[in-house]
Structure 1
Amino acid sequence: MKKSIIIAAIINCMAISSFAQEFGKHFADSTLRLDYIFGGKVSSDGKPECQVLLDGLVRTTGWSGRRNNLVSMPLAGNGRVTVRDKESGDTIYVTTFSTLFQEWLAMPESREVARSFENSFLVPMPRRLVTIDVELYDSNRKKVVEMSHNVNPSDILIVDRSNVNPNPHRYIHRSTHPERAIDVAILSEGYSVAEMDSFYKAAEIAVDAILSHEPFRSRADEFNFVAVGAPSSDSGVSVPRLGAWKSTAAGSNFSTFYSDRYLTTRNVKRVHDCLINVPYEHIIILANTTEYGGGGIYNFYTLTTAGHASFRPVVVHEFGHSFGGLA
């Protein structure tokens, strides 16, 4: 199947015009952020030994995700979050994903030491008590680990961030149908306050590049792109091979898994904190550097450099990974 057809199928699933009455029955118009720690290693016989640990729950304003096709996803990914009504046991919401932790399990280091990785997932805030199931799979779709826990929406220890003022942001592209659009947040990384104009220009280039390709070009009305200017203390991003470590909004660095061009961040909660109360369901992070590189993980984030000459094709390429799950 052509890549454009795969992505078009995802857009169709996530941006359907009819309003689903089932959403209002089960969910409020707010977001529950599920923060987890995925950790473990690979045993001497080659089997993953993993754990999924609940790290925290956060409530934010509004729900920007899908309100239709709540219990199905067009791609399986390497993980799945299932929300079940506690009383009836019915599945009321499903999302799928892949993670940096699961990539790391294929690295030689995973046989030598156990590591932990942050992971955050957004689901609509349930109206009643629910059970959350988290499952991780290997590349052969064999279940590696699963964990379940209950969430009571009235739990006083759910951190309420719904009244937090969002970071400065502006829409680069706004759908004519905002109620059914797919919301993509573009986050600044390594831009100081004085460099924010450069960030917004880079965000415009990124959106223009993505919307110049099919199937995005003919489906532009299905997307919102909002640029979020979260300032960094330092200008630029961390380049370990050069001994350069920076204090930045998303805490990203090159040399992920010792691959010079692989640019990622393990500070996933920090990324989501930067986007609090901005409408989003997908994330693109633009790094202020002329170094070549990037990374994209399905339903996780896209991270790419904005200062390199290949910025336009690379941001489209990495968005194909994170939005479309393309290999």
Structure 2
Amino acid sequence: MPHPALRPLLLACTALACLAAPPRTLRVDYGHTGDAASERFGVDRVVLEPLPWPGDPAKAVDASNLGKYCFEVTDKATGKLLYSRGFASIYGEWETTDEAKAASRSFGESLRFPRPDAPVRITVKKRDERNAFKAVWAFDLDPADPLIEQAPAPEAGALIALQKAGEPAEKVDLLILGDGYTAAERGKFEAQARKVMEFLFAQPPFKEHRKDFNVWAICPASKESGISRPSTGVHRRTPLGTTYDAFGSERYVLTFDNRAWRDIAAQAPYEFVEILTNSETYGGGGIHNLYSTASAGNSTIGYLFVHEFGHHFAGLADEYYTSDVAITNSPSRPEPWEPNATADPKNPKWKALLTPGVPLPTPWKKDAFEAHSHDYQKERRAIRAANKPESDMDALFAREKVFETDLLGTDAHSGKVGAFEGANYEAKGYFRSQEDCLMFTRNDAGFCAACRAAIEKVIRQYAK
């Protein structure tokens, strides 16, 4: 028993500790419905997640200016801004596809934030044609509402701490989820998760900031090994619902089961999520502040994991433009919100990083690259159409890497920072910061200057 004179002090310390404890995590699951011309929103459920909020309370307001959308949580009584985050979404991509011009679809999405002490107003905003955020949906939420879901989440297996560098509030918390792994394959998942973690931290600027990350892993057991690939007649019901052929693209891997993966992810502290799929066929995806995916058994997993994580983590645009994609850009070429692509080569976002004396736009071996790349894409499509083994695709990737490394690495402005035309799925009208980049090719060039700067900015947003 403590000495009577110490009891008031101990009680005071206990009270202070309670006051300092982080709030729980609150999540709003909602439906996002519409087509190319209009969109609508509706609350599905509100969930009180089991763990405390993992973020730094001093960095509750987003300073990144990233995302096609953003949301704000304000105190209903005072109007004070409590929390905000920019994000992109599956719907935000889908509305740019040809399908959205003829049909309406609905997608599940979520907003996560620290549980407030009093009623709040939540506002979702979307960028207009001038890139300014405009409100598109708002609703009120009372954190004391008895209908908020508080039941335990489905069993997902033990949480694996792949790397713990500090308390969640002081670090970037990355969660790696496994999908399509049976209970007997859990060891396989853990080995692959550790492998991709090392790939990530071998790549600058993640390499220099390794101590700023916690890395967690969860692998819910699947009844069958592997994930869905509908274009080849393969269908699986996996815990996370990942599938190839998203938006009709054979290599695009997404999950459309928002409820399922969110309930599993809630059992770990996280800000960013990577889903590893138990598959070998090349495929992945990445959406800013949603998740990224990668086929763990593919021979290019080192590139694939980091490339897709770049989309998710820092909102990086694809810089390639000769591959088949489902997304359609506006012919007016508006300035993209992504930090590594611009429509203004004379005044790019990365102008502080420009190499002195480099001409803008910056000339490069564009014609030679495109001629070779178009032939390569024809061969790639033929391999998939014939359903040839993945080793044939691996061999094609290897040959392409040799050619591109030589072409892009021996040009007049190789390694310099300028404004190189060809980016964001477009041969003309959009520009990237360097001739080669991890967001442009599968070569060993690493991230370009614009990408590195964007990644470091996001790390500073989450880590102390």
Q: TM-score scaled to structure 2, two decimals?
A: 0.62
Equivalent position to 1:275, from 265, 275, 282:
265
Tell me the alpha carbon deviations over residues 191-244 of structure 1, each in whole angstroms, 9 at most, x when there is no partner.
Answer: 010100000001001110111111111111111111101111221010011010
User: In structure 2, which of residues 290, 298, 306 is the aligned counterpart of residue 316 of structure 1?
Assistant: 306
After superposing the two structures, state which structure 1 stretch, 212-221 or 135-144, moved more.
Answer: 135-144
Aligned mate of 2:39, from 41, 45, 50: 50
Query: By how many angstroms is 1:76 displaced?
Result: 2.5
- Equivalent runs, 1:101-116 vs 2, <5 Å: 101-116=91-106
CA contact (8 A) 2:168 2:269 kept: no
**Cα distance, 1:182–1:283 mapped onto 2, change above 3 Å:** same
Q: Does 1:39 align with 2:33?
A: yes
CA distance in 2 between counterparts of 1:184 and 1:297 reads: 15
1:79 partner letter: Y
CA distance in 1 between partners of 2:107 and 2:43 (Å):
12
Cα 1:178–1:112, aligned 2, differ >3 Å: closer, same or farther? Answer: closer
Task: State the secondary structure of the residue aligned to 2:227.
Answer: coil
Residue ranges of structure 2 left out of the alignment (5+ in a row): 1-17, 318-464
SS of corresponding position for 1:154: coil
* Contact persistence 2:66–2:315 (CA under 8 A): no
Query: What's the counterpart of residue 187 of structure 2?
Result: 197
Distance 1:311 1:166 in 2: 25
Residues 185 and 226, structure 1, Cα contact 8 Å, conserved in 2: yes
Deviation of the 1:142 alpha carbon: 5.6
* Structure 1 residues 268 and 140, CA gap change in structure 2 (3 angstroms): farther
Give a deviation string over 1:72-125, Cα, whole Å, max 9, x none. 331330111100001101111101100111111110110111100010121000
Where does the alignment leave 5 or more consecutive residues of structure 1 unmatched? 1-23, 43-47
CA RMSD of superposed structures (Å): 2.0
Contact 2:54–2:168 (CA under 8 A) maintained in structure 1:
no
Give the superposition deviation at 1:309. 0.4
Cα distance in 1, alignment partners of residues 101 and 20 from structure 2: 43
1:179 positional shift: 3.9
Structure 1 189/72 Cα, relative in aligned 2: closer, same or farther at 3 Å? same
User: Residue 85 in 1 paired to residue 75 in 2?
Assistant: yes
Deviates more, 1:92-101 or 1:132-141: 132-141
How far apart in 2 are the matches of 1:201 and 1:102? Answer: 34
Q: Tell me, what secondary structure is at the counterpart of 1:289?
A: coil
The 1:250–1:35 alpha-carbon spacing in structure 2 relative to 1, beyond 3 Å, is same
Say whether residues 1:250 and 2:250 are aligned partners.
no
Q: Which residue of 1 aligns with 2:335?
A: none
Distance 1:242 1:59 in 2: 39
Measured in 2, the distance between the counterparts of 1:27 and 1:147 equals 32
For residues 234 and 165 of structure 1, the distance between their equivalents in structure 2, rounded to whole angstroms, comes to 17
CA distance 1:86–1:276, shift in 2 (3 Å): same
Which of the pair is proportionally richer in helix?
A: 2
Letter in 1 for 2:306: V
| 1:216 and 2:240 correspond | no
Displacement of 1:318 after TM fit? Answer: 0.5
Number of positions where the alignment pairs a residue of Structure 1 with one of Structure 2: 299
Letter in 2 for 1:249: P
Greater percentage in strand: 1
- How far off its partner does 1:311 sit? 0.7
Say which structure, 1 or 2, has more relative contact order (CA 8 Å, 6+ apart). Answer: 1
Q: Distance between the aligned counterparts of 2:169 and 2:226, measured in 1?
A: 36
CA 1:137–1:266: 2 relative to 1, 3 Å = farther
Instruction: Output the amino acid matched with 1:55.
Output: D
Residue type at the aligned position of 1:86:
K
Structure possessing the higher radius of gyration over alpha carbons: 2
